[in-house]
A and B are shown apart, each in its own frame.
Chain A
Amino acid sequence: MTVSAHIGYVGRSIPRLEDDRLLRGAGRFVDDVDVPGQLWMRVVRSPFAHARIVSVDVSAARAAPGVVAVLGGEDVREVEPIPLRLEWPGYELEPFLQPVLARDKVRYVGEPVAVVVAETQYGAEDAADLVEVELDPLQVVLDARDGIDPDAEALRDDRSNEVVLMQKGYGDVEAAFAKAAHVVSAEFITGRHTGVPMETRGLVADYDPGRGRMTIWGATLVTHYHRRVLSRLLGLSLNQIEYRPTDSGGSFGVRGDFFPEDFLVAYLAYKLGRPVKWTEDRAEHLVATNHARQQRYEIHGAFDAEGRLLGVRTEIWHDKGAYLRPTGVTVAEITLGILPGPYRLPAYDAKLHVVMTNKTPIGAYRAPGRYQTTFARERLLDIAAAKIGIDPVTIRRRNLISPDEIPWEPGLVYAGESFLLDSGDFTGMLDKSLEESGYHEWEQEAVRLRSEGRLVGNGIGYWIDKSGLGVYETAGIEVDPSGKVRVLIGGASTGQGIETVMAQIAADVLSVSPQQIEVVYGDTNLIPDGVGSWSSRSTVIGGSAVQAAAEATVAKARRLAGQFLEVAEEDLEVVEGRVFVRGSPTRGMSFGEIAAQNDTVTAMRLDEDPGLGARKIFVDKHMNYPYGVNLVQVEIDPETGGIEVRRAFCSAECGKAINPMLVAGQAAGGVAQGLGGALLEEFVYDEDGHPKATSFMDYLLPTALEVPPIKTLLLEDAPTPTNPLGAKGMGETGIIGMGAAVGNAIDDALQRAATVHTLPVTPERMLALLDTPATE
């Protein structure tokens, strides 16, 4: 039997299908959606980090012009807190979930306390200022390590601030340290920063009481999860709720989870019988949307005389903020799971404290756990190398798992499965990265510039990522009688190019052009189920589902064409969206003609479903592990403490790059974000827990002047066996090793080990480091 001829869109850097509308300003983002008669919602937020709520007086706000409703926490007391989306066995997390409006206590600045609904956006904002919230301030907990002290103020009256104490590991760590030639200990801190997409959050909800249907517009990561949560909190059936995804102005894992506002907007539309719209402003976004990253490590490495790892022991404090958001303790799980990385680590013992503090809740931000843990591990390796007297490349080469040790499964369980490296050529990646980047020349350049008195240095961050999770994804293909193809997926757009990538995968199987394919994501009316776009899962799991649905569509087209043309299926060929009899190209039918001819009556006669298309689910048996290298060259200005990144390189093992141009784009964006977390971005709080970074004047995103040209190397040396594409998830590429590489480069620039312990290395911190005498 002839399989459809492959045109070969997969693997090609075709420009994106979604670009045209976005370039013309014709994208439809959530604030672009207006529904006649809509009201505007404004959230009243806590000005205190920790306080008892004495009273919420809404009378003046209610009397303000154009105000339709004002709600306080008491009005929604019966509503259960927002449930978890990701749960792992063994933890009791319910007491730490966030209520939709604060009740009894507020626990961070920015926590929703009341909501105002008015006829206009400006009017709602005016009235929100009239809500009188009387608060009785309490002591604040701002540091995770201090928070577990028995004398610390408790965020919840009947509980410790420690949500869980996780312990993971394998091997005999005691023995490893006992026989070590070198033991290296260090403390590392990753700063509080987050994704900060350019579009803030927003929602429009419209309840139609006649039909009993709730329609919600907005960008979400997982519409089907949102629908389940809203169904539970509102008491409507799943079928009464429809989500209509809009274009998304970036997500990076933070935007599009289920937040208190996701309930409040829908609830108000339901109660008031009028459409309600909410658009978050930037000041709100910086305190209300998930923060990320803040962790402290105490880490000890045992090495033999040549620098081979014998064991790692670590204790980590994970500042979780005031509530658990829907990803629960997943970031903490991954932090521990990914720490061994690509190295032959025989023994590992890790403890992690998840601690509540009076700050914005922490959630998942692009490469959650990996950015932090890679910083700690890769800094430890550089410090060890200096102590042992070998260079940073050599210590990595001595410890990287070799291809003949794959599959590597040391016996570490996290996020519900075993840490298993099923494919990889880690030393090959290192060699190719050094070669492609011209790292040797970077080193010579740095030596030359240092001899001129300049503080220039190079750094490496070797990273592994994890991709997948969420187990399955759904996809459907529908061929229109016109020949147009619609691909339906359970994923979401985060701006990553999901429409183009899915169209490429479907196009190859269907032997049609991607331009003939429309990709619809997340629409709950058209797509019965889906798991969404997070954890770099959409291409690997969603794409595999699309491939399966496309294959089933071709099989059905052949079956039907065989009937309609009265020939045996074996005698049919499929080329360019047409099925024809081999040797007689004129005797055939296009997919569109097959779809049209297979009408309901015909389909009944043939015992088929009408039309042409298929629905499939792909189940991912195991996460896959992308990996790569970040390299940077930095220069320190000794006068100002400013750090310039002069060069940046990122490599990634893709398994299979569906669209290399898009993968390189993800990598470059990741590098820039990683640079932000390493040097610029930090949510600073004062001693009372008031956030000091609430605008882009204080929270500094990298601009085109801080980000250098970025060189990328994409390899396809180690396809994963876990999906038919062989693809590894590329959404979190580029960012992971940046904190580590920058820290290591600063050491190199100063020709001194063990300088950088805390990210971001702000000018203030850099000047302090320059003033610290060398100790090692």
Chain B
Amino acid sequence: MTLEPVSIEINGATYTRTIEPRMLLSDFIRHEAHLTGTHVGCEHGVCGACTIQLDGKPVRSCLLLAVQADGHAVRTVEALAEPGADLHPLQQAFHEEHALQCGFCTPGFLMTLEPFIRETPLDAVDERSIRETLAGNLCRCTGYHNIVSAVRVAAERAHATGAGATR
């Protein structure tokens, strides 16, 4: 198989590799960049565990080939909080509200939700909009109840600190 050179920026660092064109972006992130916080739950784009941000937008890294991300910027869960530093407010809300159990799906939820909280005005954050945002991420442990609470808490705090969107 012919190999392709790629250069992908992940969390601010550039990873240049020569890879098989069929390599999934999720495999590149996990096995080439060794950023194992991005998890693979189904490899067919349904569960959302592998959600990352590509140029700021949440996408499923198992549905992209690594070559498609060539020249683009990827952000993974590891970028939310520096090691040893305080948790990101969304992570902190998940912690306080007990919004994770096994934690396998959690990075995907965080990467889906972080732009939602940043971009949604507080008066548009309600049970329905939260659940619709969550609907592309599967969690088998929590029944979603506490995830919804955590999103609400995080959105209120983001608004209070000026980090949330306004109309």
B-contacting residues of A (Cβ < 8 Å)?
13, 15-16, 18-20, 22-29, 31-32, 121-122, 195-200, 247-250, 252, 281-282, 494-497, 661-662, 664-665, 668-673, 695-697, 701, 703-705, 707, 709-710, 734
Contact = CB atoms under 8 A, between A and B. Distances in A.
Contacts of A195: 140
A704 B136 CA distance: 8
Nearest to A200: B41
Given A24-B37, A196-B140, A710 B102 contact: no
B134 to A, nearest CB: 4
A24 B136 CA distance: 21
B28 interface: no
A261 to B, nearest CB: 17
A31 B140 contact: no
A200 B135 CA distance: 21
Interface string B41-57: 11110110100000000
Name the 6 nearest CB pairs between A and B, nearest first: A25-B37, A495-B102, A22-B103, A249-B104, A672-B143, A25-B77
Q: What is the predominant secondary structure among interface residues of chain A facing chain B?
A: loop
Contacts of B110: 23
Nearest to B24: A122
Given A15-B95, A198-B102, A668-B142, A25 B41 contact: no
B135 A247 contact: no
B98 A15 contact: yes
B35 to A, nearest CB: 7
Contacts of A18: 103
Nearest to A251: B102
A247 B104 CA distance: 9
Contacts of A673: 140, 143
Interface string B110-150: 10000000000000000100111011111111111111100
Contacts of B142: 665, 668-669, 672
Contact of B98 (A247, A281, A282, A662): A662
5 contacts: A13-B98, A24-B78, A495-B101, A670-B143, A701-B138
B43 A282 contact: yes
Which of A661, A665, A670, A673 counts the most chain B CB atoms within 10 A? A665
B17 interface: no
B83 interface: yes
Interface in B67-89: 76-78, 80-81, 83, 87
Contact of B91 (A16, A23, A494, A701): A23
Contact of A27 (B81, B103, B147): B103
A23 B144 CA distance: 16
B96 A15 contact: yes
Interface string B17-41: 0001011000100100001111111
Contact of B138 (A665, A669, A703): A703
Contacts of B78: 24-26
Contact of B41 (A28, A121, A198, A734): A198
Contact of B20 (A23, A122, A705, A709): A122
Interface residues of B, number: 58
A247 B106 CA distance: 13
Contacts of B131: 704-705
B98 A695 contact: no
A30 to B, nearest CB: 11
Given A15-B96, A197-B140, A282-B44, 4 more contacts: A23-B87, A669-B143, A707-B144, A710-B143
A665 B146 contact: yes
Contacts of A252: 140
Given A15-B98, A695-B42, A704-B147, A24 B77 contact: yes
Contacts of A697: 44, 46
Contact of A704 (B36, B46, B144): B144
A695 B30 CA distance: 23
B143 to A, nearest CB: 3
B105 interface: yes
Nearest to A500: B98
A29 B104 contact: yes
A672 B105 CA distance: 16
Contacts of B105: 198, 249
B83 A282 contact: no
A199 B101 contact: no
Contacts of B143: 668-673, 707, 710, 734
A197 B77 CA distance: 21
B136 to A, nearest CB: 8
Contacts of A26: 37, 78, 83
Given A668-B146, A669-B141, A705-B132, A496 B35 contact: no
Nearest to B38: A25
A197 B102 CA distance: 9
Contacts of B30: 31-32
Given A24-B80, A497-B101, A668-B146, A199 B106 contact: no
B107 interface: yes
A704 B140 contact: no
Contacts of A282: 41-44, 47
